[in-house]
Structure 1
Amino acid sequence: MKMEDYELLLKLNEVGTIRGTAKIILISQPAVTQRLKYIEEYYGQKIFIRTSKKLIPTPSGEIIIGYARKIVESEKELRNTLAQSSAEVQGTLSIACSSLISQRFLPAILGEFTTKFPKVTIDLVTGISEDIRRDHKNYNVCIIRGEKLKESTCIRLFDDPLYIFDIEPFPKDKVKERPLISFKSDDSMHELVDNWLYHHQNEIKPLKMMTVDQIETCKQFMKQGIGMAVLPESVSDSMKEEYSYVPLHLNGKAVTRDTWVCYQEGVRELPQVNQFIEALTHTKFL
């Protein structure tokens, strides 16, 4: 059995489908099926029962998956221990990152980082900040939006001002009534927007709300004239030059989304973690 086989079992158990797992690990469905068949033959046990909706571990499968988890975790611990004792920066760097940051900024940061430290293995998970908060102790570093993590060391990376955009002007002498498009985010983002709209209901009145999965979809819908959209400066690019917009302000202050890098005490003793945090804190985001 190879380490990749143990990791495959964990991913199959996490995702619940062969198709979904194949998509995430970027290999074909038949290849995943063949590898699973090999593992089951190796142990002489059926590991998963296939239903119409998901894979369900058999009793033997649960034991094998538990063993696989111990093997993978032991491998990570060994790599990190070796990294601490080595002058060369290596080992595993596990990162949980807000989807917006992972799309907009992380590729360039990781590109430079992996070029400088090619022996570091990157374990990256992306998603909305709310989900990352729940599992933050499973990662070396968390990059989140909104409120900082409790019981963690957090460094603010940048403040991201919010704007409301539309292809139609924002009149000063009457209430603007237009649909409002929002994108899937954590509750703190929606609270910021709702609070601002409440204090500006004499100026802007959303006729209806439309929610889409991705921030890029939200931008494109706005550009097609479907409605208004509240977007952070980090993804607005040249939109302020092309579309009507109003900066979100309350009590004379800009409404912003803070972005934080958070980690548990002591984790910076790992050279790969410390170097990555240094790279983040020396990056100019806006």
Structure 2
Amino acid sequence: MRMQDWEMLSVLYETENITKTAKQLFLSQPTLTSRLKKLENYYGVQLIIRKQRGITFTPEGEQLAQHAQRMIHEQRKIEEQLHNMKEEVAGTIRVGVSNFFALNKMPKLLRLFKQNYPNVEFQVVTGWSSEMHRLILNHDVHIGFIKGDYLWNENKDLLYEEEICLASPWEFEWENLPDLPRIDYHTDEKMRSIVDQWWYSNYKQGPNINIQVNQVETCKEMVINGLGYAIIANLVVRPYRELIIKPLHLASGKAITRKTWMYYHEDTLQLNIVHAFVRFIQTLDVKAL
């Protein structure tokens, strides 16, 4: 089998959806279906069962898909070892990045790093911090840039700490918040928990959420245009001086903050490319970028 077949099976095993897999691999659905059929003919077994929505793997297909994931892992490992033997900083580094960091920090970091190491390529995966935590735990990425504190017993560096704040297009009194229009957005469970705990520690009634959006950047634009207030990380709204921005506090008076970390495994530092990238990040003031 070719490496492309391993990758196809691995992605399909994760998505359980032919359309999503074809899109992720930049293939047409007929091409992907044809390759699957060739694999089934080669091994003489049925690999998938089509459902009304998506697919499911047969026991034989599941066994082969798991083998494909192991093969991909081994291939990446040998490629990294060969690059490392050259004693140069070259090859591909895999990075998992939380959504806000990916939008606001990662492009600048990659540009600066490639100025020093032009032979390095990046594979960047973005999503919620909880998803990036799972990727780094499973060794699917070399480095994770993660917002919030997750269970981790290996190396991590604190990049910055920011306040959770209330951003409003108009002056307000804290006691009036339950009656004012709030813009809400989808976020990870840890951020949601922080906001909810603060709210219900201060108010008996729920917030007056009149707009719900998918992304924090959309939420910010709604606030800027005077449609309501939002509870949001300070770095998202700090550049907008027209907004009223006030930090949230615990009952003790301490400001509520959230940390952004760089997670990585100790053994990956043996790779020249990972070692160089980690040391590079450690020299920067990431928050100021």
Distance in 1 (CA, whole Å) between partners of 2:237 and 2:35 is: 44
CA deviation vs aligned residue, 1:159-197 (integer Å, no higher than 9, x gap):
12232122232147x634313333222333233323443
CA distance 1:88–1:41, shift in 2 (3 Å): farther
Structure 1: distance between partners of 2:268 and 2:235: 29
The answer to which of 248-257 and 76-85 deviates more is 248-257
Aligned 1:76-155 pairs, distance under 5 A: 76-114=76-114, 116-139=116-139, 140-155=142-157
Gapped regions of structure 2 (runs ≥ 5):
none
Deviates more, 1:111-120 or 1:55-64: 111-120
- The 8 Å contact of residues 148 and 260 in structure 1, kept in 2 or not, is answered as no
Q: Distance in 1 between matches of 2:283 and 2:100?
A: 19
Q: Secondary structure at the match of 1:4?
A: helix
Give the structure 2 partner of residue 157 of structure 1: 159
Paired with 1:267 and 1:129, the residues of 2 have a C-alpha distance of 21
Change (3 A) 1:236 1:8: same
Relative to its length, the structure with more strand (as a share) is 1
Alignment-derived partner of residue 66 in structure 1: 66
Structure 1 residue 209, shift from structure 2 partner: 7.2
Give the share of equivalent positions with the same residue, in percent: 31
CA contact (8 A) 1:132 1:142 kept: yes
CA contact (8 A) 1:17 1:54 kept: yes
Q: What SS class does the counterpart of residue 257 from structure 1 fall into?
A: strand
Shift of 1:114: 4.5
Pairwise CA distance, 1:119: 4.6
**Which aligned pairs between 1:155-234 and structure 2 lie closer than 5 A?**
155-171=157-173, 175-176=176-177, 177-198=179-200, 201=203, 206-208=207-209, 211-234=212-235
The whole-number CA distance in structure 2 between the counterparts of 1:65 and 1:148 is 29
Greater Cα offset, 30-39 or 229-238: 30-39
Contact 1:170 1:246 in 2 (8 A): no
Give the aligned residue type for 2:185.
F
Report SS of the residue matched to 2:180.
strand
Q: Which amino acid aligns with 2:19?
A: R
Verify the 8 A CA contact 2:133 2:150 in the aligned structure 1: no
Question: Residues 58-115 of structure 1: CA distance to partner in whole angstroms, max 9, x if unpaired?
Answer: 2332232133122211101111222332212234423222111112211222244356
Check if 1:235 corresponds to 2:253.
no
Letter in 2 for 1:179: P
Question: Any residues of structure 2 matched to 1:25-36 within 5 Å, and which?
Answer: 25-36=25-36
- Normalised by the length of structure 2, the TM-score is 0.83
Per-residue deviation, 1:44: 4.4
The aligned length equals 283
Q: CA deviation at 1:11?
A: 0.3
Distance, in Å, in 1 between the alignment partners of 2:156 and 2:167 is 31
CA contact (8 A) 1:13 1:55 kept: no
Structure-2 change in CA distance of 1:59 and 1:161 (3 Å): same
Q: Distance in 2 between matches of 1:118 and 1:26?
A: 26
Partner residue, 2:265: 264
Given that 1:76 and 1:92 are in contact with CA atoms closer than 8 Å, whether structure 2 keeps it comes out as: no
Paired with 1:111 and 1:37, the residues of 2 have a C-alpha distance of 42
- Distance in 1 separating the partners of 2:244 and 2:213: 21
User: What residue ranges of structure 1 are gaps of 5+ in the alignment?
Assistant: none
Contact 1:181 1:229 in 2 (8 A): yes
Quick check: 1:48–1:61 contact (8 Å CA) kept in 2? yes
Secondary structure at the aligned position of 2:20 is classed as helix
Secondary structure of 1:242's counterpart equals coil
Distance 1:62 1:175, change over 3 A: closer
Structure 1 residue identity aligned to 2:122 = I
Q: TM-score, normalised by structure 1?
A: 0.84
